[in-house]
């Protein structure tokens, strides 16, 4: 059994001094005579910036740059400290409450490290975590409770499906997921055909939503993250589109003045060049 480090061992450490300094600066920014903008903020007004900082942390991770990641993690930490300072002023909680709460949770959720519980592997660890989490949150009636509605849609679809899988509501293998995608495509086609050329309708919107959900399901069965797949597809489209722009510009033309056939031909040239380049690697 591993004993959690007592708080006293951390007193006076560089980490503790850095946190104390950050907390003090935030308190000063919010105090009378501090920064007018900081003093005006509320938990709600900070939400957009906090979400943006989360995405910037992810981008920094992808960049592989420790310097970039250090900076972005600092920006995200600032928002945690900011929210805690506002709550402290309202008498709701403090940064110490936040840090103590998560530390206690880590100890509580890891009895195999800080207690006598035994686990065989990472899979068993996750199962134990879920069991402890369920016991701590008896107010959750549905297995889907706990999946934030504010997640990006692809991520939320994947999270909902993973939750449902835990109680056996899932295809046994990828074939079922693939068949479901085909079924949803046929339903979209059936809804579009009678309404061409004006195909928009609430029923069609629903069917396309079902198709997207089924594609997330297929990706999950293949152990692929749909959010990452769409990000990669977005990057590929943007890269090729910019290359098409460059080709058209080199011809002394503007894209909006070109026919679709010209643009499509340029796209295919860019795609072929990219494919050939990959084969040489």
What the block records as the tokens of 170 is 């899932």
Q: Which of 112-116, 171-175, 214-218 has the lowest mean pLDDT?
A: 112-116
| Letter string b/e over residues 127-158, b meaning 16 or more CB atoms within 10 A of that residue's CB | ebeeebeeeeeeeeeeeeeebeeeeeebeebb
Indicate whether 210 and 242 sit together in one domain. Answer: no
- Measure the CA–CA gap between 30 and 34, rounded to whole angstroms: 6
What is the CATH classification number for the domain harbouring 78?
1.10.287.1080
> What integer is the mean pLDDT of 63-91?
97
Both 212 and 244 in one domain: the answer is no
> Is residue 98 in some structural domain?
no
Any domain includes 2: no
With cut-offs at 50, 70 and 90, classify the pLDDT of residue 8.
Answer: very low
On whether residue 142 sits in a domain, the answer given is no
Query: What percent of the chain is predicted at pLDDT more than 70?
Result: 95
pLDDT (average), residues 172-201: 86
109-123, 147-161, 193-207, 260-274: which range is least confident on average? 193-207
| Boundaries of domain holding 27 | 7-93
Residues 176 and 195 reside in one and the same domain: yes
The pLDDT tens digits of the residues spanning 142-178 come to 878 888 888 888 889 999 998 888 878 898 899 999 9
Given a cut of 60, whether residue 10 has pLDDT beyond it is: no
- Which pLDDT band, with edges at 50, 70 and 90, does 199 fall under? low
What is the rounded average pLDDT for all residues in the chain? 88
Give me the number of domains the chain comprises. Answer: 3
* Nearby residues of 201 by Cβ (< 8 Å), 6 or more positions away: 191, 195
Q: pLDDT grade, residue 255 (50/70/90)?
A: confident
pLDDT at residue 175, rounded to an integer: 94
Q: pTM for the whole thing?
A: 0.66
* 211 shares a domain with 161: yes
The owner of tokens 């939400």 is 47
Note the pLDDT of residue 1.
55
> According to the model, what pLDDT value does residue 164 have?
86
């Amino acid at each position: 059994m591993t004993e959690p480090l007592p708080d006293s061992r951390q007193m006076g450490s560089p980490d503790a001094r850095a946190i104390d300094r950050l907390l003090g600066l935030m308190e000063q920014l919010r105090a009378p005579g501090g920064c007018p903008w900081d003093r005006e903020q509320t938990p709600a007004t900070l939400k957009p910036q906090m979400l943006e900082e989360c995405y910037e942390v992810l981008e920094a991770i992808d960049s592989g740059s420790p310097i970039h990641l250090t900076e972005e993690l600092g920006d995200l930490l600032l928002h945690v400290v900011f929210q805690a300072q506002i709550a402290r002023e309202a008498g709701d909680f403090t940064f110490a409450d936040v840090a103590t709460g998560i530390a206690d949770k880590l100890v509580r959720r890891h009895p195999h490290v800080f207690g006598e519980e035994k686990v065989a592997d990472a899979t068993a660890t996750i199962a134990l975590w879920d069991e402890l989490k369920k016991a701590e949150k008896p107010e959750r009636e549905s297995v889907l409770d706990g999946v934030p509605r504010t997640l990006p849609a692809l991520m939320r679809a994947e999270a909902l499906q993973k939750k449902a899988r835990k109680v056996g509501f899932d295809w046994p293998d990828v074939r079922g997921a693939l068949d479901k995608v085909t079924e949803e495509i046929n339903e979209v086609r059936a809804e579009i055909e009678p309404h061409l050329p004006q195909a928009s309708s609430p029923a069609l919107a629903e069917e396309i939503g079902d198709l997207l959900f089924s594609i997330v399901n297929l990706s999950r069965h293949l152990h692929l993250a749909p959010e990452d797949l769409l990000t990669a597809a977005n990057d590929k489209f943007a890269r090729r589109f910019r290359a098409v722009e460059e080709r058209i510009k080199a011809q002394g033309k503007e894209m909006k003045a070109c026919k679709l056939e010209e643009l499509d031909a340029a796209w295919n040239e860019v795609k072929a060049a990219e494919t050939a380049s990959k084969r040489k690697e």
